Structures are given as structure tokens and as C-alpha cells.
Chain A
Amino acid sequence: QVQLQESGPGLVTPSGTLSLTCAVSGGSISNTNWWSWVRQPPGKGVEFIGEMHHNGRRNYNPSLTSRLTMSLDKSKNQFFLILNSVTAADTAVYYCATTSVSYSWNYWGPGTLVIVSS
């Protein structure tokens, strides 16, 4: 059973960089196809951020592409999210997720709240 755990600063200053790590256990990051990030701003709906394949392919939400970088470290079984030039609109609970079924996510981390504020 794959388990995911997000980690990173809970507070980021405006115009700064949001960096999150997702630690994977119970499975290898090289075995499952796509590793994803999803977020939910307080009181709002869920938004797909992007996904990364273990072979290096990436698919980003077009609205975030210019500020977004995703990467992974197979040796550490972790994948990462970097979002630059953040604003208050980036305040959200961030989830990492993956799937063993097609075009959906059946494994999720518990989520981590990131607040963008000075």
C-alpha cells in the first residue's frame, strides 16, 4: 500500500518560493507512473497543479506553468514541488497524490497547509 506524506514550510512570504516534498513509502517512485500535486484554497474547490512521470515527463496546469517546477529523486523516493512568485492566491492545502488506476488518484497524502503572508 503506497503512502504519501507532504512536508515543507507552512508559511511563505509574498513573492517568495513555495517548496514542498512528498515522501513515498510502501512502493517505489519508479514503479508507479505519475506523481501529482493538487491543491485546495480555503473555502474553494480543488485544483490540479501538475504531474510528473518517473521517466521525467511533466504535465503542468497551464495557469501555473510559468511559475512551476516539479522534480523527483528516485534515490530518496521523493518528489518535489516548487512554485515561484507566490501570492495570497496560492494559500491552500497542498496534496501529493498518485494512482494505480487510470487518470485518477487513489493514493493521497494527508495534505499540508501553506499560507502565503508577510
Chain B
Amino acid sequence: QSALTQPASVSGSPGQSITISCTGTSSDIGAYNYVSWYQHHPGKAPKLIIYDVTNRPSGVSNRFSGSKSGDSASLTISGLQSEDEAEYYCSSYGNRITYVFGTGTKVTVL
């Protein structure tokens, strides 16, 4: 399975909203509602921020929201804050009983 496609970078000013896209295929995102999103600060373990397309784990800010349409998914960060600056990865369960990750998006807070 090929990696899911994400934009290399997205930027926004504090308080703004940004959206990160994640494009897959009918074998992964299009086939299952098992898209998750991870926030990754350098040198730290990734942090789950969205699972099953739209669900937030306990303790994750409601500024993070997820959605899906067809073979693509999106992560929206509203009220952008400096601590949101990180790398973000999407992931999807796929056919062949495995997972595929996105190419990663670097979020910069201007």
C-alpha cells in the first residue's frame, strides 16, 4: 500500500483555522471509517488526536476535529495556538489487514 498523501506544510496565524487533507484510495480511507490523526513534536512520541475519523480521545482539545469524504479525510485545527506547531500524520486501516500512514504535514504558526 502506498502512503496517504498530505500537503508538506500548512501555516496559519494564531487564532486562525487550518485544514490538513489526507488523500487515500478506495482500499483504505474509502473503505473504512478508521482514520486517525497524530500530532508529532520532534523527539517525542506521536500523540493520538483523532480516531475513527471524528472521535477525540479524552483530554484532547476540541479545537481538533476530523472528517472524511470518499477517499479523503481532513483534520481541522481551529483557534490555532503556538503549541500546535508540529508534524501531523494521518493513518488509515486498509485492505490486506494493515495500516498506512500519511506523508506528514508540518504545521507552522506564523
- A106 contacts which chain B residues (CB < 8 A)? 48, 51, 57
Using A95-B46, A110-B44 as known contacts, say yes or no to A45 and B52 having CB atoms under 8 A apart. no
CB-CB under 8 A from B102, the residues of chain A are 45
A102 touching B45, Cβ below 8 Å: no
- Whole-angstrom distance between the alpha carbons of A102 and B92 in the complex? 11
What's the Cα separation between A56 and B106 when bound, in Å?
37
* A46 & B52 in contact (Cβ 8 Å cutoff): no
B46 near A103 (CB under 8 angstroms)?
Answer: no
Is B72 positioned at the interface, with any CB of A under 8 Å from its CB? Answer: no
Minimum CB distance partner of A50 in chain B: B98
From A46, A59, A101, A109, B89 is in contact (CB under 8 Å) with: A46
Q: B101 touching A47 by the CB < 8 A rule?
A: yes
B51 touches which of A45, A61, A104, A109 (Cβ 8 Å): A104
Find the A residue at minimum CB distance from B89: A46
- The total of chain A residues at the interface (CB under 8 A) is 21
Residue numbers in A under 8 Å from B104 (CB-CB): 45-46
Chain B contacts of A95 at CB under 8 A?
A: 45-46
In the assembled complex, the Cα of A101 lies from the Cα of B32 at a distance in Å of 15
Bound-complex Cα distance A45 to B6 (A) = 11
In the complex, the answer to whether A110 meets B45 with C-beta atoms within 8 Å is yes
Q: How far is the CB of B97 from chain A (nearest CB, A)?
A: 5
For the complex, give the distance between the alpha carbons of A111 and B34 in Å. 24
5 closest cross-chain pairs (CB), A and B: A104-B36, A108-B45, A103-B34, A104-B51, A48-B99
